[in-house]
Amino acid sequence: MSDVNKGMFGATGTGDTSGYGGLVRVSSNPGSSERPYGSYFDEVADELEKAFPDFNDAIEKVIVDRGELTLHVKRERLFDVAKTLRDKDSLRFEVCLGVSGVHYPEDKGRELHAVYPLLSMTHNRRIRLEVSAPDSDPHIPSLVEVWAGNNWHERETFDMFGIIFDGHPALTRILMPDDWPGHPQRKDYPLGGIPVEYIGATTPAPDERRSYR
């Protein structure tokens, strides 16, 4: 399935001053892939199906696109799937390279996404987990207990996107002040700000600069 996006970042009504406001792009939103997936992807899927007899109730869809495997996991099952991927000898994804937030305002009921790149050093394999949550209930289980290195990454994703990681040991902002309003990397965040001061000059805040449309 393809969508047409306008503007550089898909944001509207925010006083875009980037010069990309008139850009029109076609983005692809692939559906679930069919077997065989190719490479080692079938082996990963086979092992997960053994671990989860209710596979379709744990994993919403499997996408193979541009040589990469992405497992879309239901948030209620994220912790169990992650722990299985780490601990099962035939999988052994010992390393999670963090978590990145994504905001899709047009994806109703699934506006907030969290993406986890995983690495198996034992088997030299890479896959990706993706989980979604609605704006109205932005809760996703924390994976700090599974991969301790996710601690600061979850804090940053909370700070920038407003995703609440349930079970995190200390979910506080990490980049912005504790009393900062909103989450700056969401697409509905206004392009405002404060002037940046240099010696002998001041650069206006983004919403005060001229538009290039």
User: Would 26 be classed as within a structural domain?
Assistant: no
59-65/24-28 β-pairing: unpaired
Give the pLDDT confidence of 85-110 residue by residue, as tens digits: 999 999 999 999 999 999 999 899 99
Please give the structure tokens belonging to residue 102: 């994504």
Q: Tell me if 188 sits within 8 A of 182, measured CB to CB.
A: no
- Residue ranges of alpha helices (H) inside 55-207 are 55-58, 78-87, 150-161
pLDDT above 80: residue 200:
no
The pLDDT score that the predictor gives to residue 127 is: 98
Nearest C-alpha neighbor of 14 from the set 185, 195, 204 = 185
User: Would 200 be classed as within a structural domain?
Assistant: no
Per cent of the chain over pLDDT 90 is 67
CATH assignment of the domain containing 70: 3.30.460.80
User: Would 12 be classed as within a structural domain?
Assistant: no
Q: How many domains does the chain have?
A: 1
Nearest C-alpha neighbor of 129 from the set 144, 142, 145, 113 = 113
User: Would 190 be classed as within a structural domain?
Assistant: no
* Structural domain range at position 51: 32-180
User: Would 152 be classed as within a structural domain?
Assistant: yes
User: Would 189 be classed as within a structural domain?
Assistant: no
Share the mean pLDDT of the chain. 87
* Strand partners of residue 69: 64
Q: Tell me if 182 sits within 8 A of 193, measured CB to CB.
A: no
Pairs from 36-45 (Cβ < 8 Å, separation ≥ 24) = 37/62, 37/64, 37/69, 38/64, 39/67, 39/69, 40/123, 40/125, 41/69, 41/127, 43/90, 44/69, 44/91, 44/125, 44/127
User: Would 188 be classed as within a structural domain?
Assistant: no
Give 197's pLDDT tier (boundaries 50, 70, 90). low
* Pairwise CA distance, residues 151 & 172, whole Å: 11
User: Would 18 be classed as within a structural domain?
Assistant: no
Task: Give the torsion sign (CA, 167, 169, 175, 178).
Answer: positive
Phi, then psi, of 168 in degrees rounded to 5: -65, 140
